[in-house]
Each structure stands twice: as structure tokens, then as C-alpha cells.
């Protein structure tokens, strides 16, 4: 059984963090959490994430039908439901507009290179989706395949979507994407971005597996590097 009130309070707290960090402006961005019985708790349309109350949140079913709410759910509801349908292992989705990560997408630049070790271990890579009009069904379709293999995506010319076991987990992934984008931008200003070499990625894969952070194979596949020949 969910502790729904606890989850509602956590959503308010994480919403404040997203807003206070400048990862959204005004009424942009939205959060959701899977509840028992095929239900989803989600932020309402037209609210600032920094100014919500636990009772403002909406509950919908997995077809998007409103079950209980004083307000309509976010217009990005199809994006959230698509993430849950494709990822039975996750419980939370955060959608935001972090400026630096967004700037890469608006410049037509990718964050998919394997550059920062903790990002490679945490995410593999951070792909960018095809362009879709925000809040459209198309916006949900462009994440459907990529979200199966990635916990964080850049939505082209729009923002990010991150998923996790809880809202804090999905929020931290948003923070890490924006941090990675910021570091990459600074590195570019200083000169050029040098990706991790194949050998460095192989050693990272071995350490990741030994430390229990994630499978080495996942890193080799994400960064398109052959496994070590000596196993």
C-alpha cells in the first residue's frame, strides 16, 4: 500500500528544488509518481512547481482518465504515462527545462559522448530524442523506445525527462544531466572535449562491475567499445 500523503509531500519538496535550482521557469515542468492500483499522482496544469500544495496534485489512471483532482493534470501527461508503460521498474518521472542541457539541444549538439566517468556509470549515455511539439502525443512517442534503455533523455528543443525508483532519484538524475552539460560547455570554452578512450572505458566497466554500480557490459554497449580481450 502506498503512503500517498508521504509521496504528495515529497512531490511538493522535489518540485521546489526543481524550481529553486532554475531547472524550470514560471509554470514549466512536471513531476509524477506511480501509485498502487494502476494509478499515477501528477502535478497539475498551470501551476508553478515552487508553489504547489499537496492537495493540488491530480491522480489519473494509466489511460490518463482523471480520478481525483481539484485541477487538471499537466498537459505532458502522455509523456509520463509513456515512460511508465515502457518501464515497469520505475516509480517516478521528472520533466524539466534545464538551461545548459537545453542549450546543447538548441545548438544541435549532443551530450551522448562518453566523457564524464560518473555520468557513464550512472547513465551510460544521454541521448537526444527527435523533435516533437511539446504536450503533443508525438512528444510521448519520441521517448517510447529510448526510455526503455535510458534513465535520462534530452527532448530536442524542449527539455529533459528523467526516471527513477523515487522522485528524489529521478530529480538527482536531472541535476546530473544539467551538471554534465555545464561541465561540457566549460570544457568547450577552454578548448575541446576529449572523450574517455576505449581503454579508460574498459577499466571503468570493470570497476563499475566490481563496485556493484552497474554491469560492465552496459557501459561497453552504451559507449560502443569492445570488452577487454582477456575478459
Q: Is 139 in the site for Zn ion (CB under 5 A)?
A: no
| Sheet strand arrangement including 58-61 | 66-68, 58-61, 39-42, 30-35, 92-96, 159-164, 152-155
Report the nearest approach of Zn ion to the CB of residue 28 (Å).
Answer: 6
Total binding residues toward Zn ion, as defined by CB under 5 A: 1
Would you say 100 or 113 has its CB closer to Zn ion? 100
Would you say 128 or 208 has its CB closer to Zn ion? 128
Would you say 135 or 221 has its CB closer to Zn ion? 135
Would you say 25 or 186 has its CB closer to Zn ion? 25
For strand 159-164 and strand 152-155, is the pairing parallel, antiparallel, or unpaired? antiparallel
Stretch that binds Zn ion, among 41-49, 58-66, 154-162, 213-221 (CB under 5 A): 154-162
Which residues fall within 8 angstroms of residue 212, CB to CB, at 6 or more apart? none
Report the nearest approach of Zn ion to the CB of residue 96 (Å).
Answer: 7
Residue nearest to Zn ion (CB): 159
Q: Is 159 in the site for Zn ion (CB under 5 A)?
A: yes
Is residue 96 within 8 A of residue 160, CB to CB? The reply is yes
Cα 11 from Cα 106, distance rounded (Å): 29
Report the nearest approach of Zn ion to the CB of residue 97 (Å).
Answer: 6
Stretch that binds Zn ion, among 100-108, 157-165, 167-175, 219-227 (CB under 5 A): 157-165
Would you say 7 or 96 has its CB closer to Zn ion? 96
Report the nearest approach of Zn ion to the CB of residue 32 (Å).
Answer: 13
Q: Which of 4, 51, 76, 112 is catalytic?
A: 76
Q: Is 78 in the site for Zn ion (CB under 5 A)?
A: no
Query: Is residue 76 annotated as a catalytic residue, yes or no?
Result: yes
Residues forming contacts to Zn ion in the complex (CB under 5 A) are: 159
Which residues are identified as catalytic?
76
Amino acid at each position: 500500500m502506498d503512503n500517498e500523503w508521504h509521496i504528495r509531500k515529497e512531490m511538493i519538496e522535489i518540485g521546489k528544488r526543481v524550481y529553486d535550482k532554475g531547472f524550470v521557469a514560471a509554470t514549466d515542468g512536471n513531476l509524477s509518481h506511480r501509485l498502487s492500483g494502476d494509478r499515477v499522482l501528477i502535478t497539475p496544469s498551470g501551476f508553478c512547481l515552487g508553489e504547489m500544495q499537496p492537495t493540488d496534485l491530480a491522480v489519473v489512471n494509466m489511460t490518463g482518465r482523471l480520478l481525483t483532482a481539484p485541477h487538471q493534470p499537466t498537459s505532458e501527461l502522455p509523456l509520463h504515462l509513456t515512460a511508465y508503460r515502457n518501464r515497469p521498474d520505475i516509480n517516478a518521472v521528472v520533466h524539466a527545462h534545464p538551461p545548459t542541457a537545453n542549450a546543447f539541444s538548441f545548438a544541435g549538439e549532443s551530450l551522448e559522448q562518453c566523457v564524464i566517468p560518473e555520468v557513464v556509470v550512472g547513465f551510460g549515455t544521454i541521448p537526444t530524442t527527435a523533435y516533437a511539439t511539446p504536450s503533443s502525443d508525438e512528444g510521448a512517442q519520441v521517448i517510447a523506445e529510448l526510455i526503455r534503455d535510458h534513465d535520462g533523455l534530452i527532448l530536442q528543443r524542449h527539455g529533459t525527462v528523467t526516471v527513477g525508483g523515487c522522485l528524489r532519484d529521478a530529480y538527482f538524475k536531472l541535476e546530473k544531466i544539467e551538471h554534465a552539460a555545464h561541465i561540457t560547455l566549460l570544457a568547450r570554452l577552454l578548448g575541446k572535449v576529449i572523450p574517455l578512450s576505449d581503454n579508460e572505458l574498459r577499466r571503468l566497466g570493470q570497476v563499475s562491475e566490481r563496485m556493484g554500480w552497474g554491469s560492465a557490459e552496459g557501459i561497453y554497449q552504451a559507449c560502443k567499445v569492445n570488452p577487454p580481450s582477456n575478459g
